[in-house]
Structure 1
Amino acid sequence: MSETSGETREPAIVAPAIGLVNRQTFQAGPRWAIVGIFLIMLFGALYLSSSFVLPVVFALLFMLVLAPVVRFGQRRLHIWPPLTAAALVFGTFLLLIGAFSFLTGPLTDLAGNIPRYVSVVNEEIDTVRERLGALRGARMEASEAVGAQDGTQQPQSVIIDGPQLLNSAALMVPQIGASIAFALIFLFFLLSSGSLFYQKLIESLPRLSDKKLALTIAHEIETELSRYLFTITVINAGLGCVIGCLMWVIGLPMAPVFGVLAFALNFIPYLGAIGGMMLVGLVGLAEHRDATGALLPVLLYFAATTVEGQFLTPILVGRRLAMNAAAIFLAVAFWGWIWGVVGMFLAVPIMVGVRIVAGYIDSLQPLANFLSAERQPVAEVEDEMT
């Protein structure tokens, strides 16, 4: 009887265990599926509502940077926060108007010269093709075959109409102006409210521990983003001055414009420097009509950005704000895909905020570790594994 009872009890012990494993396995699947569906819907909504979301994001970003100035004026100088907010917003507006006035004329000339630049590039490409006889012969044979099939032989050409490009840009000016005005007005209300934003954030959370954690995260994001953006702005301003002077020394036209563009493009890691080098190389080729005229500005631009990226920025920014280079590149590419060029400018500040938030949440520690550039020693990893 004991053997019989033992045989009958064994399935009863194994069956609940199998059911528990299956239940846990099938519960994990829907949970990840729900998270995936949520992320897809979130990023789709951000893409579709970019005209509204982008001004809000910019206003929140500038609020984090300028809020310490407002608090300093209120606590130390006893200035009413709306007055400080109005002065900061008006100063930002004047800065934008000055930059627009300075760049409008040179950028219009640059856009008007695009057909000439493209023509010079096409001439250089034709020269290279002529030197490569085999490639040129294959091209002629392919052209003759296409002409025989169609009955006519049509040459291939690249046409860029400068006036149409300027007209397209002119049509975007009202929309850009409206977005800037909305962002500045929203920024004024955020700054003039003082610490009301943080008070409402704390009041919306139920537990005291959550309130303390949210306040700590908000203050750290504000501190780190302010420090990062201020440091990067100073570095980029110095880089723009250096590149502008270098372009002026080698005789490249519109050297100050290239300095300002270098300042703006360097906010986009990696891709901004590549775009700047392509631009100065194109203008240098069009102006000097030889390889030396195209390569010299590119090499100078590359040398300046290399010194800035490999030596100056790591020293001034420090290890605390250093981030994974691969993660930065993916973030720039992703937010550029979602929001275009503006998303590339916002990629790193968003990444800094996400890394800070993930560092305080246990379930997001792997994400914080992936975004951080700090490396854990191999000995510590082996100790944890053993």
Structure 2
Amino acid sequence: MQENNFTVRVGVAALALLGLVTALYFGRALLLPLVIALMLATVFWPIVQHLHQHWHLPRVLAGALVLLAFVALVVSFALWALTAIQQLVQELPQTYEQQVRVYEIIRRNVQAISPEFAEHILPPHVEDSIFFKHFDQFVKTQTDNLPFYLRTTVENVVLVLFLVLFLLLEGEMLIQRFGQIFGPLTEQHAQAAIKALHEMALAVRSYIVWRSLINAGMAVFLGLFFAQLGLRQGWTWAILAGILTFVPYIGPIIAGVPPAIEAFISPGFGPATVVVVTYLVVLLVEGYIIFPLVIGRNVQLNATTVLLACMFWWVVWGEVGLFLAVPLMAGVRAICLHVPGWEAWGNLMGMDPTAPSWVRKLAARLFPTWRALHGLTIEQDQEAIIPSAESAQQRSARQALGPKDASLPAETAVSRSLPKTGELADSA
């Protein structure tokens, strides 16, 4: 009987999962703008609350001001992107002679590294190159499709902005109504649901804000480095790297290809090597030191979860799903950690701190708020700063016991060195 019940539960869970995936796939036209709007609303919510409570602005005006600032930022970036794309297209070889000249430069540089590889991939006659035949057609196709991409993007942006405005205006009411689904607001279930919702919003907001700040800093550093190296499109590649780094693993790899190719074509193999090595160092510092330090432990996801999430959301929602995969899973993990019975699933998706121990020790000493961000208590923080240090009392107790009990734990050594209750009475 128990085996039958287990089989039924597994079957029901599999059907529910299949139904969820189907709904996500076929409902992406509706769900994608809603999910993006929810994420933006969680980011803008503290700003709107501050303007409403401390500056006494009406919530409508506060939300409108925040959205206007965001629209101005998006429009400025869009104008810059269009200018950069136009300049990049103009710098591409237009005539047949220019294309042949660029092909010969690439082939000569590749031959200097590996002649056999150049012979197989880049034949001597440019007409025999498959890449050369299809490159011009690829650029023309993408250029012709650009107006369609722009129109679709503008329509989705307008829809998302209206959704964000409504969420900012009615956020408090929606949160209360969400809690009432689980019972009266005074009961434990409703309060737990609202708390889980707040924790999910905090996890998503923390990831988006810190990820954006880190990517912006990385883009500025790479832009200065590429410009100093003499790359003509250095800032374009740097900002592209800042955008694509939102996509784990795949994004940084794709973003590193264009600057390496430009450096390889123009200056040569040496500058291209410098570009690749510096780019890898920046990614390592960002991924293993900076990002784990500023992101709280409730937001950190292990590599397996991130990779599976990217695969799942890419299949369901395409390229946009790659950008949303990590914040979505961070929100799911936050919910699992605060729902009774689901904590094990949240723990399964999490990970231990990946920053080096000396970096975490230094951060704990310099920034007291870092402990709260990572959920450390004072005792855990002291243990992290001095992991194996014994107190003066423990060391003196171990010395008093002599070499016979030197291998005992420090707490046992202290307890054995203390006088017993009877001994205290006799001495009195």
Q: Shorter-normalised TM-score: what interval?
A: 0.7 to 0.9
| Aligned counterpart for 1:180 among listed residues 145, 157, 167 | 157
Deviation at 1:264, TM superposition (A): 1.2
The alpha-carbon deviation at position 114 of structure 1 amounts to 6.6
Cα offset for 1:360?
Answer: 2.0
Alpha carbons of structure 1 residues 120 and 201: separation in structure 2 relative to 1, 3 Å: farther
Determine the C-alpha separation between the residues in 2 that align with 1:361 and 1:336: 27
Please give the per-residue CA displacement for 1:104-129, whole angstroms capped at 9, x wherever unaligned: 12123435667759947973698489
Q: Aligned-residue CA RMSD in angstroms?
A: 2.9
Provide structure 1 residue ranges, at least 5 long, that are not aligned to the other structure.
1-22, 140-153, 376-386
Q: Distance in 1 between matches of 2:291 and 2:312?
A: 23
Contact residue 39 and residue 205 of structure 2 kept, 8 A: no
Measure how far apart 1:60 and its partner are: 0.3
The answer to whether the Cα contact below 8 Å between 1:71 and 1:194 also exists between their aligned partners in 2 is no
Quick one: distance in 2 between partners of 1:364 and 1:287? 55
Tell me how far apart the structure 1 counterparts of residues 22 and 103 of structure 2 sit (CA, whole Å). Answer: 39
1:52, distance to aligned residue in structure 2 (A) = 2.3
Which among 205, 219, 243 is matched to residue 182 of structure 2? 205
Residue 222 of structure 1 is matched in structure 2 by 201
Q: In structure 2, what residue type is equivalent to 1:131?
A: P
Question: In structure 2, what is the equivalent of residue 276 of structure 1?
Answer: 255
Which of 322, 327, 332 matches 1:354?
332
Shift, 1:166, TM fit: 0.9
CA distance in 2 between counterparts of 1:75 and 1:126 reads 63
> Percent same amino acid among aligned pairs?
23
TM-score using structure 2 length: 0.72
Q: Secondary structure at the match of 1:206?
A: coil
Q: Which segments of 5 or more consecutive residues in structure 2 lack a partner in the other structure?
A: 94-98, 354-428
C-alpha change, 1:58 and 1:130, in structure 2 (3 Å) is closer
User: RCO higher in 1 or 2 (8 Å CA, sep ≥ 6)?
Assistant: 1
Aligned partner of 2:323 among 321, 336, 345: 345
Tell whether the 8 Å contact from 1:331 to 1:347 is kept in structure 2 after alignment.
Answer: yes
The alignment status of 1:363 with 2:347, answered yes or no, reads no
Which among 83, 92, 116 is matched to residue 132 of structure 1? 116
CA contact (8 A) 1:241 1:259 kept: yes
Q: Distance in 1 between matches of 2:104 and 2:87?
A: 17
TM-score (norm 1): 0.79
Partner SS, residue 132 of structure 1: helix
- Deviation digits for residues 142-197 of structure 1, max 9, x if unmatched? xxxxxxxxxxxx95623122222111222121111101110001101111124111
Q: Which residue of 1 aligns with 2:393?
A: none
CA contact (8 A) 2:60 2:169 kept: yes
**Distance in 2 (alpha carbons) for counterparts of 1:84 and 1:67:** 10
Pair 1:113–1:222, CA change in 2 (3 A): same
Find 1:244's aligned residue among 223, 244, 249.
223
Indicate the larger mover: 169-178 or 32-41: 32-41
Identify the residue that residue 384 of structure 1 maps to in structure 2: none
Which of 164, 168, 172 in structure 1 is aligned with 2:141?
164
Partner of 2:55: 77
Contact 1:287 1:293 in 2 (8 A): no
Q: How many residues align?
A: 337
1:192 aligns with 2:169: yes
| Cα distance change of structure 1 residues 292 and 205 upon mapping to structure 2, 3 Å threshold | same
**Aligned partners of 2:20, 2:298: CA distance in 1, in Å?**
30
